[in-house]
Amino acid sequence: MGEVDPAFIQELEHRPELYPIESEGIPVIDLSPIIHKTIEDPSAIEGLVKEIGSACKEWGFFQVINHGVPLSLRQKLEEVSRMFFAQSLEDKRKVSRNETSATGYYDTEHTKNVRDWKEVFDFVAKEPTFLPVNSDEHDEQVTQWTNPSPQYPPNFSVIIQEYIEEVEKLAYKLLELIALSLGLEAKRFEEFFIKDQTSFIRLNHYPSCPYPHLALGVGRHKDPGALTILAQDEVEGLEVKHKADQKWIRVKPTQDAYIINVGDIIQVWSNDVYESVEHRVMVNSEKERFSIPFFFFPAHDSEIKPLEELINEQNLAKYRPYKWGKFLIHRRDTNFQKLNVENLQIYHYKIA
Ligand SMILES: O=C(O)CCC(=O)C(=O)O
Ligand SMILES: [Fe+2]
């Protein structure tokens, strides 16, 4: 990734500001009232549910503390992630993503047709993960994704799996809070995930970049799934588009906090009550940066559409239903090549 390849250069209007606005506004929410407890009496957590609801409405992003994921586990994962990426390119490519396995290492992702200044390692949460063979709506064939087994660092896969188990508990708790904040049953969303969720974890490495004013670690995008639970290290870089004024706001790293954002699926389920917010990652000329998002994705055969409880004659469904697995495969297929068209987005299902 040493020399500047025009593939990395952002169009003028999308280039980052070198002196961005720091986030004071992005809410930090304390989850201690629900961690290690089952939510039996919703009235006891009314305040928390309100906080989550307003954060989802105003920002689509928030940070959580006292979230129940052991810090030691996160630190272990951060350490092996650094060890993995510190290897030679040749060694990393031994566990490359390829035609049959979409998990593993790669460094050629494009966002909005511009190459990202990053390398990643993807690992599915459930093995095997069932997904459609292709994005053709009429083809019902399903394939199975499994994870690679890197020999180095020692215990890499075991540490990732242990971490996923903990972060998944947090994901279910957050879904319950979001459901309650929309006036739904706490477990309303569970059925989409309990069997055959397609979630995955991504280890991101953003090497230092001599052209931080031209390139981005990840170009502007919205996350397609239900929720993203992100661990960022102490090097800042994540920027979020503030809904109120459309300005890019930098998310200040808070030790041991997770950054949560609502993805496209929650936007559709909520019929636009909550919106999936655009974000991007800046790179840095001096420091490399690491981050670890967990993408909480439902089963591939889930039909995504506005929930019946949230629509009525005055408030009609704003989206046509779509199949999650087909959507995901379509997106994956287009993120690895430069195309002349924009990739699939939920607004393509919008009812005019
Ligand atoms: O690295 C980050 O802070 C965010 C990465 C991200 O937005 C993504 O991978 O979807
Ligand atoms: Fe993202």
Give residue 239's pLDDT. 95
Bridge partners of residue 129, in order along the sequence: 145
Binding site membership of 281 for ligand 1 (Cβ less than 6 Å): yes
Show Cβ contacts of residue 198 under 8 Å, excluding neighbours closer than 6 positions: 124, 126, 129, 130, 131, 297, 298, 299, 300, 324, 325, 328
Do 216 and 116 form a contact (C-beta atoms < 8 A)? yes
Which of 202, 230, 234, 240, when mutated, tests ligand 1's pocket best, judged by the most ligand atoms within 8 Å of its CB? 230
Residue 110 pairs with which residues in a beta bridge? 115
Per-residue pLDDT reduced to its tens digit, 56-70: 999 999 999 999 999
What was the pLDDT predicted at 2? 52
Distance 299 CA to ligand 2 centre (A): 20
> Domain extents for the chain?
7-349
Residues of the chain with pLDDT under 50: 1
The topology (CATH level 3) of 7-349 is Jelly Rolls (2.60.120)
Q: What is the DSSP letter of 96?
A: B
**How far apart are the CA of 224 and the centre of ligand 2, in A?**
8
Asked whether 111 lines ligand 1 (CB < 6 A), one says no
pLDDT, position 295: 98
pTM metric for this prediction: 0.95
